[in-house]
Structure 1
């Protein structure tokens, strides 16, 4: 946010309160003064919150017009909803907003955030007469409050709260948390650390010695390296220890020496030494909290839902992967299959009669119809007949139905039908009568705008309705991995897109966005974007998403699947570095740092 010299209030000239709020903050809200004033008013009222009246006094003392607080919809509405009281605001959250929206450099803001969080958390621990604080819980607390504050900032800047993606939130939140740990000379809790807590005395010492203006707190190069290269925990810990040892020596010195610390730390991280910590075969197969680890096939979907990423970090070897693993859901602790095998833990996978792993597939019945004239399959375990997506071996033609797979502890990919605010839909038999009584008209589908004249899927809270055609599409099966997305982040459903195109007056076929071939088959489809991925491209994508990344760009960086990489280029298209073809409106296996892309089709070469 740019720095403005004037503290004078601006004249309100628009009823767009979010723009007004942002402009007023830019004109007059100085971070440290605002935080101190919020603290004073909260303490004066002897509460953990500040009243609207108190907030108006704070704004008045900063020469900011507070009339925007009277608007029926203002940036603090999310505060009101979260605490259930429109007359008071949580003081800690308001302090965070003052810090992140206020003037000043990012490193100063991180330092102030750190002091707000640490002081509050240490008070809680001391009041309970505990000698230490749990690092894992502390980090989760930091992430939660960061996410709340950052989301509020974006809403204040004019974003629609409902459209803020989890992945966008996660990137910024992770950057701040990584900066905080690096500044402290710590890393986030991993198994390479001897303990999972830190003494209050140690934390107080680090807090006291943390320089407010040290540029390395949030140096863009350092954090980019820290996040993109996915350093091993042991490397990060050793680099952080050297970083910590040098902080004290530069407290009273000039900026050039602080830059040298960044260089030294980056050199150590890039050296590749020391190596990863050997796996302790005698250690019980549990998370750091002592919970037994269980094999879970749905972990990539779980992390995509809660954090916006499908990548998983192995807490033993430090590598990133995106498949089933040994998992503790309470602690978000994961161990990859290879590390499990090293500790003699064999995963209970679903296997065919030839001991090959079964794959979740949506195209089995279509394959059987094309090759054998069959419109169903028979489960090899219970002999039941089905025509839905299930676990399958294409080599042996071995099939395992959903019920039998679930019985063995496997979860199949599924979605509940929801409205745009994620409320679950339910059948409403009297929808026509309800709309005629309520609105004097007939309902229309909120997705395709087709008229509805019979029972439909309905959200009572939002008056959101789906026609039979859209209900059939959105209840259809989804792919084996959460990376099956169009560039607009919509989940792909396995559907008969050819019949859909015919129903809207188009040819009964599609051009696959992945390989550019025209086909007439069921496929992975996004109805909102008319995006299609044929079965061959889907097989290739599933294979490379569920296997360890091995293909690299010309600078030896691993390529990762990016479903919206084409949007990152001018013109909305990329040129495949393997075949040279131009691809638009489709993802690629991508190195963002080098702008290097390989299309889905050429990943098999």
Structure 2
């Protein structure tokens, strides 16, 4: 909900959203500045022929902004009857324990208009429980800062008398407080991503009834391990999420993302990224190399032979196509993101790495410094047009001036590396 040129939020005064003849919307101030200089849309270079007073205001966008603002602010102008209902709701919220929080430990409140808010912001009425992964429509226990929601069933779990704030001084790997639950097995049977039995993250024994848990992170300790000051070993997936231990159900198997060996007993897994390590690799220090560079979707790239082995299994080939330069290669290892099937060759990765580290000796037409953005194709919602080679590519990042919509692809940036 911001202007694509100045990146400031639209409003009903100086930042009114104005629709150009080509269909793009920019704020009033930026259009005034553009019409003094080049008189063309910075998005598609279409000419602006009408004066500013003949261009239309995007009233639909203003209505959406107004609806979002009203959702985020307290209603202070209600009738006395409505105010009485609001006070009752606030009193009920204050009766809740302080640990009814989102993953970033913000206090949650009940919002009746969550479905309406999600329809405006994301285009769907569905609400997604961040604890048990169920979906529904209507209201929710909601953190407005993080768009974090839990359903009524999970809220009831959090309000059980057994979940006492001072009952356990231990925390999970993400520094969330552990609480005592008596319905551990029942909860994980609702959580559809959990495969197999519920296991203690320290001793790996079955948990059959109660546990000390962080339900946001799938972290559980049995009663016996609760008083042990030695925490389980920490290990992360390439996207920096902690792995949790699980026991595989009968006849289930997984393939280790590090050694590519099939295993059938237990796994150290990141459910969000579908990343799994066998017991041998979990205890080993020789894991695949995780890099700071990212794919267009924001996942950290890794350097290993895993993607090559994946292509061999899926497509019967060890050849991969570099998403940046478009050339095909056969090699033992490459730079890749497995969830997105995104690959870079050695040359493009080296240009990217040096360009991010030292910058490039190239500016846009208005002399703005170009910086590397991994999400350029997502920003343009499709193809990225390189101003050097005049080629369009999708699923790539670029050296980019976001204010002027000016891009150089990775291969062309090679000649400007410092």
Fold match by TM threshold 0.5: no
Tell me which structure has the larger Cα radius of gyration: 1
Structure with more strand by fraction: 2
> Which bin holds the TM-score, normalised by the shorter protein?
0.3 to 0.5
Structure with more helix by fraction: 1
